[in-house]
């Protein structure tokens, strides 16, 4: 009975490790979803590039940082519906920051 219990524990640990590894991998589909979520419900918001200027992934979710033309920089967090499984859902983390103005010409 003890052997069966520890075998089940081993299988569960292996499954969680695999799911964590899969969640931590960059995904073009999730990146596209984050791009759509970045400007959702924002007037004058347009992202003209295909790649975020910064991205981070972990076992529990992804973060993308998008630069926009008029609104500023936007951070988007994407997570799975049920921690390790389920559909990805993306949402803005904070209000957009002001765009960075270029330094004055000398």
Mean pLDDT score of the chain, rounded to an integer?
Answer: 85
Burial 46-67 (b: 16+ CB within 10 A, else e): ebeeeebeebebeeebbbbbbb
* pTM of the entire predicted model: 0.77
Q: What is the tens place of the pLDDT at every residue in 46-67?
A: 888 888 988 999 989 999 999 8
Torsion of CA 69, 74, 79, 81, to 10 degrees: -70
Q: What is the tens place of the pLDDT at every residue in 33-51?
A: 999 898 888 888 888 888 8
Q: What is the tens place of the pLDDT at every residue in 10-30?
A: 999 999 999 899 888 998 999
Q: What is the pLDDT of residue 103?
A: 56
CA–CA dist 66, 46 (Å, integer):
10
Q: What is the pLDDT of residue 96?
A: 54
- Report whether pLDDT(68) > 60: yes
CA–CA dist 38, 68 (Å, integer):
9
DSSP state of 103: P
């Amino acid at each position: 009975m003890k052997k069966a219990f520890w075998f089940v524990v081993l299988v569960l640990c292996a499954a969680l490790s695999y799911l964590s590894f899969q969640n931590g991998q960059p995904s073009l589909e999730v990146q596209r979803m984050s791009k759509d979520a970045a400007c959702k419900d924002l007037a004058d918001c347009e992202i003209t590039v295909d790649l975020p200027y910064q991205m981070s992934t972990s076992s529990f979710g992804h973060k993308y940082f998008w630069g926009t033309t008029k609104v500023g920089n936007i951070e988007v967090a994407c997570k799975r519906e049920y921690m390790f499984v389920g559909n990805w859902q993306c949402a803005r983390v904070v209000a957009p920051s002001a765009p960075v103005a270029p330094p004055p010409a000398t």
